[in-house]
Amino acid sequence: MRQTPQEQPESMEFPRREFESVCFHAIGLVDQNREYLQMHLRESGDAPTRQALADMELQTARLERTLSEMMDLMALEEDPVPSRRGFDLCSVLRQAASLREEMARQAKVHLTVSCEPDTCPVLGSPEEAELMVFHLLSNALRASAPGGKIVLRLCRAEDAWQLTVTDHGCGLPGPANWQENRRRFLGGAGAGLKICRAVCRRAGWGFALEAGSGGGAEAVVTLPVEPETAASGDTIALHAAGEVLPSRLRWQLERELHLLAGNA
């Protein structure tokens, strides 16, 4: 229905939250119907029907992931005031380390995680840091063949912290490996690295992506060393070294491993 001049909005700002809600609701309904059909056709359905439903499951999950990435990127670009509070970046890496066995079992990729020392007080958004670490690991996982290795390392480098994610996979896109890159990253929207750059820009961190010295690629995030007390007077709270807190990072990685298994 058309709006009268009095009813028309003054701003043409994109209704991101409404769009996100409608899309995820539709995806949820499609997936519920797929589960219903799978349940009832588990025994009676023929092989092509069961395969079609399995394909629907994979593609629905892929669509949900792509939509989530685009909404995350849009939220980062739209928010003019980044969140900056004290947190321990090592606690984020411990989330990833808790899935090492799952990565080895599902993706046949060995993950090594190290924090030197075992606490790293930084200023920024822990939620956005988790998002960045997820996308760095996701790219490394997609680039790696079975038997590959990924190294996630956080260490002190002079007057800065340095977070590196190194893989020995297909490397950065180029004429020699263009087809292999396309095959491994097929189905993605290419938003992951844009999200990493947006997170670093908002937090005042440096970001670089380079070809690995022995093949593959290396992402490097440079974070300033912060005093124990921020300028605002807030003390940077650190989690206990052995603590693993529930977070979005874990289920994001679990979903990514599920999608990679479906692509195999």
pLDDT in tens, the chain (264 residues): 444 445 544 545 668 788 888 988 898 999 899 998 888 887 777 888 888 888 898 888 888 888 888 999 999 988 877 778 889 999 999 999 999 999 999 999 999 999 988 889 999 999 999 999 999 999 999 888 899 999 999 998 878 999 999 999 887 776 666 566 666 665 556 788 999 999 999 999 999 999 887 788 999 999 998 765 333 334 444 443 344 444 688 888 888 888 887 665
Q: Output the CA–CA distances (angstroms, integers) from residue 6 to 2, 3, 123, in the order listed.
A: 11, 8, 45
Give the integer Cα–Cα distance in Å for 133 and 120.
15
Say if CB 130 and CB 88 are below 8 A apart.
Answer: no
Here the tokens at position 132 are 């960045």
The separation between CA 29 and the C-alpha centre of its own chain, rounded to angstroms, equals: 24
Query: What backbone phi and psi angles, to 5 degrees, belong to 235?
Result: -75, 135
Q: Output the CA–CA distances (angstroms, integers) from residue 102 to 90, 98, 106, 108, in the order listed.
A: 20, 8, 6, 9
SS3 124: strand
Whole-model pTM? 0.78
